[in-house]
């Protein structure tokens, strides 16, 4: 029997139409709202899955009641109209969207419809060839090259009109500014996805967590947010990358196949991800499964696989339905996010003493993995995101190996009678020392820096880790064991482990061979360069990048310890607050003692990196700002350093030159105010003689 309020053979009843109309209006409002949050503010409030569900519901209603479908419906549009901070420009050809297949059946259904469509055009092929690619989870852009030169770069926007973000895109080293050919085509439009590598995302979040900043939700939002920054410097500081996946408008060049276009892109220096041509839908389905299997192992995030008919003519003949080309489809993977309840927030002590919150969750499956613990990064993050016990939260595995709590869902946040905001304990959970919070700081920490067993364990783990001293055979387990046995007390004890050789041999799982190997890798670590030692010691805020820059700037720990806060702040990437903390720590007795013991053990406390090369810029300090016409900032920095100069990040009276490119902002203003000489790229090159 047909329920009274749904369609029946005679068409929908009045009541059903009314309900559907109201629900459709509601859904449209809601979807538009979320579109804005996602596309314009890069701050989605709901998960992709929740969003897809809304869209699917609206689609269902519209297909049941076609009269409710309008061209303005979000089902007919791609994303929201762009925010207006950047000049809006029309795409040469619309940037289309992709229909979705959620499983193999839907994929096969799509192929059948495509065949039927082509048959109706008089095209009958035994087997079709398809290209299968990863569906990169980033931000779609278009790059227009006229006569071989990059003319403009535009975000997708609503597919028809996007935002001109050329200056920002120029800061991305992977984007060629010129096509490397003598006779370039008159017009060449490249399309691709801007993304951030998981490893870069993870490092950035770790660094932010360490410095007390709120962390980023996922690589996609960070990439999108970074491209749409008004401050070019900020964009330049983010590790943005490109995968190009196709061409758009073309003049003076054409491609018979999509794979041919990709090969050309690659030849011209555009990063093109792995792709392969497959004959027949069986092979295509297998390739899609293959991408899904590899998903976790990739250093970038994909949310599906994209299948495209390879023959350009067939792609054209298949045509476009709504905003979706019939010749391509996205096989969507399950989202990296899920919603669950945060049962409890527990606090641990981190390696630099900060109290680190951890979430205990109602177990939930995220892309095949059951998650019950997730990191909340730090105190500031918890406050910034207003996360409380009992909240319904979004948990993600995006961009990280370790699951993270993104934040409460809108429903979680609006819930009445929520728990009080969580507060870190007044005593260190590891050693019981009363915790401290310095004035003006957002951080609670255990002041028992080298004495607290919690901090000590974390500090050891960090010291021996691959990124630091890289001591093979000395992992978490061994560190915990040796701490328990009393072989380890302070970091320098690692280098007297050999004294315990006999005792080691008595331990379960240790034999002559493994003990000798372990002792040999400890010995070998003494040759690690100074910057690694500096990183391994683990002063708050010194990640591997800062450690490298400090090592390059000062050349030795002694020079660093003798430096003033101001001098430390002249190091590239080191601000005043961090410089002060570094100076303070290097003046502490316990740090000095540790350094002396490491020195006695034979570690490298001075760099093989020369403090500065000799050259026309010897003794000069330069600041880079804006986009240079022909060099990335890193290239410019290398040239300056090779010429003996030093690059710092902030302009002061001591700055000798400010090198300014296009869209230079506040630094240029400051240089003018302080009457610092301003150079353009050409005069910089002249100065360094080449
Ligand atoms: S092709 C006509 N290939 O997915 C189809 N898109 O829903 C145009 N995307 O806006 C896109 N990886 O942001 C294509 N290998 C890939 C892709 C890809 C990611 C994104 C892109 C596009 C959206 C389509």
Average pLDDT value for residue range 481-504? 95
Q: Does residue 523 register a pLDDT over 90?
A: yes
Residue 41's CB is within 10 A of a number of other CB atoms, namely 15
Asked whether 98 lines ligand 1 (CB < 6 A), one says yes
Which pLDDT band, with edges at 50, 70 and 90, does 665 fall under? Answer: confident
**Ligand 1: centre distance to CA 367 (Å):** 21
Residue that finishes a domain, picked among 304, 332, 360: 332
> How many residues are recorded in the chain?
690
Of 151-160, 260-269, 365-374, 629-638, the poorest mean pLDDT is in 629-638
Q: So what's the pLDDT on residue 445?
A: 93
373 is a domain residue: yes
- pLDDT for 7: 36
pLDDT at 6: 35
DSSP code, position 180? S
Give 188: exposed, middle or buried? Use CB within 10 Å, 0-12, 13-18, 19+.
buried
Q: Is the CB of 97 under 6 A from ligand 1?
A: yes
Query: Is 463 near ligand 1, meaning CB less than 6 Å away?
Result: no
Considering only 101-110, 248-257, 423-432, 647-656, which range has the smallest mean pLDDT?
A: 647-656
Report how far apart, in Å, the C-alpha atoms of 74 and of each of 4, 80, 158 are: 29, 8, 11
Q: What local confidence, expressed as pLDDT, does residue 2 receive?
A: 34
pLDDT digits (tens, 9 = 90+) for 422-447: 999 999 999 999 999 988 778 899 99
The pLDDT tens digits of the residues spanning 62-118 come to 877 777 777 677 776 655 554 456 889 999 999 999 999 999 999 999 999 999 999
Which pLDDT score is estimated for 8?
A: 38
CATH number at residue 497: 1.10.150.20
Shared domain for 147 and 220, answered yes or no, is yes
Pick from 561, 625, 569: which is nearest to 596 by CA?
561
Query: Given pLDDT bands bounded at 50, 70 and 90, which one contains residue 281?
Result: very high
What pLDDT is recorded for position 1? 33
86 located within any domain: no
What is the model's pLDDT at position 690?
58
Which domain does 677 fall in, by range?
621-687
In ligand 1, the atom with minimum distance to the C-alpha of 138 is 13
- Shortest-distance Cα residue to atom 13 of ligand 1: 140
Question: 9-56: per-residue pLDDT in tens?
Answer: 344 567 888 888 888 888 888 888 887 777 666 677 777 667 777 887
| Range scoring the smallest mean pLDDT among 440-449, 472-481, 580-589 | 440-449
Per the structure, the count of domains in the chain is 6
Least Cα distance to 625 among 608, 644, 650 occurs for: 650
Q: Per-residue pLDDT averaged across 223-228, rounded?
A: 90
Q: Is 114 left (phi over 0), alpha (psi -120 to 50) or beta?
A: alpha
- Are 30 and 63 contained in the same domain? yes
Ligand 1 near 310 CB (within 6 A): no
Select from 245, 34, 29 the least CA-distant residue to 142: 245
Regarding whether 582 and 676 lie in a shared domain, the answer is no
Q: How many Å lie between the centroid of ligand 1 and the Cα of residue 393?
A: 29
Task: Give the C-alpha separation, 662 to 666, whole Å.
Answer: 12
| pLDDT for the residue 530 | 95
252 lies in the same domain as 280: yes
Question: Which of 129, 231, 104, 25 is CA-nearest to residue 668?
Answer: 231
Residues 170 and 228 in one domain: yes
Same domain assignment for residues 195 and 266: yes
Which residues are within 8 A (CB) of 237 and not within 5 positions of it... i.e. 6 or more apart? none
């Amino acid at each position: 029997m047909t329920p009274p309020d749904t369609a029946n053979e005679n068409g929908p009843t009045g009541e059903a139409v009314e309900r559907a109309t109201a629900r459709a209006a509601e859904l449209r409002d809601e979807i538009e709202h979320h579109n804005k949050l996602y596309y314009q503010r890069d701050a989605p409030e709901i998960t992709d899955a929740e969003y897809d569900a809304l869209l699917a519901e609206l689609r269902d209603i519209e297909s049941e009641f076609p009269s409710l479908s309008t061209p303005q419906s979000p089902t007919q549009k791609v994303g929201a109209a762009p925010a207006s901070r950047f000049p809006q420009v029309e795409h040469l050809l619309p940037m289309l969207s992709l229909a979705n297949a959620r499983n193999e059946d839907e994929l096969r259904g799509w192929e059948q419809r495509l065949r039927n469509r082509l048959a109706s055009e008089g095209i009958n092929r035994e087997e079709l060839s398809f290209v299968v690619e990863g569906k990169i989870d980033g931000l779609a852009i278009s790059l227009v090259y006229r006569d071989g030169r990059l003319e403009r770069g535009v975000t997708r926007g609503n597919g028809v009109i996007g935002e001109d973000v050329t200056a920002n895109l120029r800061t991305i080293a992977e984007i060629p500014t010129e096509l490397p050919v003598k006779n370039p085509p008159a017009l060449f439009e490249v399309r691709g996805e801007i993304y951030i590598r998981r490893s870069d995302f993870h490092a950035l979040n770790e660094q932010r967590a360490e410095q007390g900043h709120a962390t980023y939700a996922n690589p996609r939002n960070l990439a999108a947010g970074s491209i749409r920054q008004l401050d070019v410097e900020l964009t330049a500081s983010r590790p943005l990358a490109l995968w190009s996946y196709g061409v758009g408008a073309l003049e003076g060049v054409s491609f018979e196949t999509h794979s041919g276009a990709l090969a050309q892109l690659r030849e011209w220096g555009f990063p093109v991800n792995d792709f392969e041509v497959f004959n027949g839908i069986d092979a295509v389905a297998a390739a899609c499964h293959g991408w899904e299997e590899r998903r976790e192992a990739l250093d970038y995030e994909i949310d599906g696989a994209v299948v495209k008919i390879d023959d350009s003519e067939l792609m054209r003949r298949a045509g476009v339905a709504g905003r979706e080309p019939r010749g391509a489809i996205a096989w969507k993977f399950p989202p990296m996010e899920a919603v669950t309840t945060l049962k409890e927030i527990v606090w641990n002590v981190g390696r630099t003493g900060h109290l680190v919150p951890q979430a205990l969750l109602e177990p939930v499956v995220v892309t095949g993995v059951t998650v019950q613990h997730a990191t909340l990064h730090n105190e500031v993050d918890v406050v910034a995101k207003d996360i409380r016990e009992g909240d319904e939260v979004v948990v993600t595995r995006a961009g990280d190996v370790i699951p993270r709590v993104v934040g409460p869902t809108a429903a979680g946040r609006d819930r009445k009678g929520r728990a009080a905001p969580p507060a870190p304990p007044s005593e260190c959970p590891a050693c019981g020392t009363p915790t401290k919070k310095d004035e003006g700081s957002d951080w609670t920490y255990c002041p028992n820096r080298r004495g607290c067993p919690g901090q000590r364990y974390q500090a050891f783990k960090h010291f021996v880790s691959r990124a630091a001293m890289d001591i093979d055979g000395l992992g978490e387990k061994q560190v915990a064991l040796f701490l328990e046995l009393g072989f380890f007390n302070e970091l320098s004890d690692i280098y007297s482990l050999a004294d315990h050789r006999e005792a080691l041999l008595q331990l379960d799982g240790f034999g002559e061979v493994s003990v000798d190997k372990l002792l040999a890798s400890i010995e070998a670590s003494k040759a690690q360069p100074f910057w690694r030692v500096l990183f391994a010691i683990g002063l708050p805020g010194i990640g591997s990048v800062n450690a490298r820059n400090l090592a390059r700037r000062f050349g030795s720990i002694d020079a660093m310890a003798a430096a003033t806060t101001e001098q430390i702040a002249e190091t590239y990437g080191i601000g005043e607050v961090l410089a002060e903390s570094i100076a303070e720590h290097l003046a502490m007795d316990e740090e000095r003692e540790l350094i002396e013991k490491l020195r006695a053990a034979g570690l490298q406390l001075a760099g093989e990196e020369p403090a500065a090369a000799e050259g026309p810029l010897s003794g000069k300090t330069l600041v880079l700002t804006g986009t240079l016409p022909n060099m990335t900032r890193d290239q410019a920095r290398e040239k300056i350093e090779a010429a003996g100069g030093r690059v710092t990040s902030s302009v002061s009276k001591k700055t000798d030159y400010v090198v300014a490119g296009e869209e230079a902002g506040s630094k240029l203003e400051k240089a003018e105010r302080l009457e610092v000489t301003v150079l353009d790229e050409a005069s910089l090159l002249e100065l360094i003689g080449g």
